């Protein structure tokens, strides 16, 4: 008879090793814990009550030695262990693909990596929902200045309004800047190498005196919403991001930690 997985909505922590199984507790796990408790109770009843502490320790030890390995064996046999991390998407659904383990032949569930579009929707919506970011517009109406330079099948996720007067448009593949004369491409996500808060070399000079500490505080108050993004061929500066600097900076950091599939650039030579 095949044992089926039992899904619950909250975490379950293993009492033996302290491991938390987030959002996925299997029936073999529950069987192992119940067997552990059952053996412990039998041993407590079989030993003289005056040896209460010894009975408890002995029961826990024998129960763990039998129940815990059985639990792990059942879980491994059914291929129910899923160690792939995931991030709550606030309503955004991500398809789960299945693959087969070449060694055991068991089917394993794998969560595909997030795309740039999904990451933007998750990170920006979370910041807007918490209320401290007021200058991010999700799913905005795209003006003619931006649609004039749009690529085929390009999707615009969010607009960040700068205190300097510009508007930064985040699409599913690149970042554009809208100004009084039109819209320009600032960078493509696959070309991002590093992202720096405020300035690239702001940590090179150590703070040595109280005067310099106070000066650095004023420096941060003035430039806290500035980001420098290193590309393969140049440095892009984003200014006036206000409180949106935090989700924007984290998005660029996320880009540098993983590879984003390259999107074909529009050929304008023809």
Assess contact for 227 and 245: CB atoms under 8 A.
yes
Kindly state whether residues 126 and 225 are assigned to the same domain: yes
Kindly state whether residues 234 and 145 are assigned to the same domain: yes
Q: Which domain holds residue 75?
A: 1-83
The reply to whether 39 falls in a domain is yes
Kindly state whether residues 39 and 169 are assigned to the same domain: no
The 10s digit of each residue's pLDDT in 218-252 is: 888 888 999 999 998 899 999 999 999 999 999 99
Kindly state whether residues 79 and 126 are assigned to the same domain: no
Kindly state whether residues 161 and 243 are assigned to the same domain: yes
Instruction: Please give the pLDDT value at position 42.
Output: 74
CATH code for the domain of 224? 2.30.29
Residue written as tokens 């500035």? 226
pTM score of the predicted model: 0.56
Whether residue 138 has pLDDT greater than 80: yes
More confident residue, 243 or 42: 243
The reply to whether 181 falls in a domain is yes
**Residue that terminates a domain, selected from 29, 63, 83:** 83
Assess contact for 145 and 158: CB atoms under 8 A.
no
Kindly state whether residues 127 and 240 are assigned to the same domain: yes
The 10s digit of each residue's pLDDT in 254-265 is: 999 875 444 444
- Across 37-41, 101-105, 205-209, 215-219, the highest mean pLDDT is recorded for 215-219
Kindly state whether residues 44 and 167 are assigned to the same domain: no
d(CA 185, CA 175): 6
Average pLDDT of every residue of the chain? 74
Can you state the angle between helices 27-46 and 52-78, rounded to 10 degrees?
160
Q: Pick from 39, 28, 47: which is nearest to 64 by CA?
A: 39
**Residue that terminates a domain, selected from 39, 67, 83:** 83
Whether residue 115 has pLDDT greater than 70: yes
Strand-pair partners of 227: 197, 238
Handedness of CA 170, 176, 177, 180 (dihedral sign): negative
Kindly state whether residues 234 and 137 are assigned to the same domain: yes
Kindly state whether residues 235 and 121 are assigned to the same domain: yes
Kindly state whether residues 246 and 173 are assigned to the same domain: yes
d(CA 80, CA 109): 9
Task: Provide the number of structural domains found in the chain.
Answer: 2
The reply to whether 189 falls in a domain is yes
The reply to whether 146 falls in a domain is yes
Kindly state whether residues 51 and 121 are assigned to the same domain: no
User: What's the pLDDT band for 41 if we cut at 50, 70, 90?
Assistant: confident
SS3 breakdown of the chain: % helix, strand, coil, rounded to 5?
Answer: 40, 20, 40
Kindly state whether residues 73 and 134 are assigned to the same domain: no
The reply to whether 95 falls in a domain is no
Instruction: Please give the pLDDT value at position 29.
Output: 62
Mean pLDDT over residues 169-183, rounded?
93
The 10s digit of each residue's pLDDT in 189-204 is: 999 999 999 988 765 5
The 10s digit of each residue's pLDDT in 77-106 is: 655 444 444 444 444 444 445 555 555 555
């Amino acid at each position: 008879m095949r044992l089926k997985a039992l899904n619950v909505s909250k975490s379950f922590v293993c009492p033996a090793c302290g491991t938390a199984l987030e959002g996925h507790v299997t029936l073999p796990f529950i069987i192992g814990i119940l067997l552990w408790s059952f053996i412990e109770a039998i041993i407590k009843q079989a030993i003289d009550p005056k040896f209460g502490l010894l009975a408890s320790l002995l029961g826990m030890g024998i129960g763990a030695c039998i129940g815990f390995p059985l639990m792990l064996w059942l879980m491994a046999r059914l291929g129910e262990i899923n160690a792939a991390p995931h991030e709550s998407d606030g309503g955004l659904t991500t398809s789960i693909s299945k693959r087969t383990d070449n060694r055991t032949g068991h089917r394993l569930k794998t969560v595909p990596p997030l795309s740039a579009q999904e990451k933007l929707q998750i990170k920006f919506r979370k910041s807007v929902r918490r209320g401290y970011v007021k200058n991010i517009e999700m799913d905005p109406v795209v003006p003619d200045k931006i649609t004039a330079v749009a690529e085929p099948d390009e999707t615009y996720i969010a607009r960040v309004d700068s205190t300097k007067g510009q508007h930064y448009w985040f699409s599913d593949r690149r970042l554009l800047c809208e100004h009084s004369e039109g819209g320009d491409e600032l960078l493509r996500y696959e070309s991002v190498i590093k992202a720096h808060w405020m300035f690239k070399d702001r940590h090179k000079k150590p703070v040595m005196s109280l005067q310099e500490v106070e000066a650095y505080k004023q420096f941060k108050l003035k430039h806290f919403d500035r980001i420098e993004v290193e590309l393969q061929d140049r440095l892009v500066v984003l200014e006036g991001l206000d409180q949106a600097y935090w989700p924007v900076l984290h998005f660029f950091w996320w880009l540098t930690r993983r590879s984003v599939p390259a999107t074909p650039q529009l050929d304008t030579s023809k």
